[in-house]
């Protein structure tokens, strides 16, 4: 699931999702729009920050986990990773 937040209100998102039992394999990504740096043509690209979201131990008292993942740039035709913001991309996804 991709959840896009036009207001980039991470606190509100966290409040809504903190009581859900989201397994580590839930495949939930939280995304919001960023302002681009001055050296990029902001009319050609949009920038987004992505978080990996899960809470695989809610029933055991665990907290919602929102891990900063990556920043992507998108235009009308494609998106690409501008930079990784954590080491999530290095791990084996299912094992």
76 or 59: which leads in pLDDT: 76
How do residues 7-33 score in pLDDT, each as one tens digit?
999 999 989 888 887 776 678 899 999
Query: Would the pLDDT of 93 be above 70?
Result: no
User: What global pTM score does this model have?
Assistant: 0.79
**Through-space distance between the first and last CA atoms of the chain, rounded to whole angstroms:** 20
Give the three-state DSSP class for 20: coil
Domain ranges for the chain, please list them: 2-90
Phi and psi, residue 12, nearest 5°: -65, -45
């Amino acid at each position: 699931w991709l959840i896009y937040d036009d207001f980039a209100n991470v606190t509100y998102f966290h409040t809504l999702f903190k009581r859900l039992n989201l397994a580590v394999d839930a495949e939930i990504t939280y995304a919001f729009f960023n302002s681009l740096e001055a050296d990029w043509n902001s009319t050609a690209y949009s920038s987004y920050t992505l978080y990996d979201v899960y809470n695989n131990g809610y029933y055991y008292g665990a907290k919602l986990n929102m891990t900063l993942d990556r920043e992507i740039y998108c235009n009308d035709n494609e998106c690409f990773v501008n930079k990784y913001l954590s080491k999530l991309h290095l791990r084996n996804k299912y094992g």
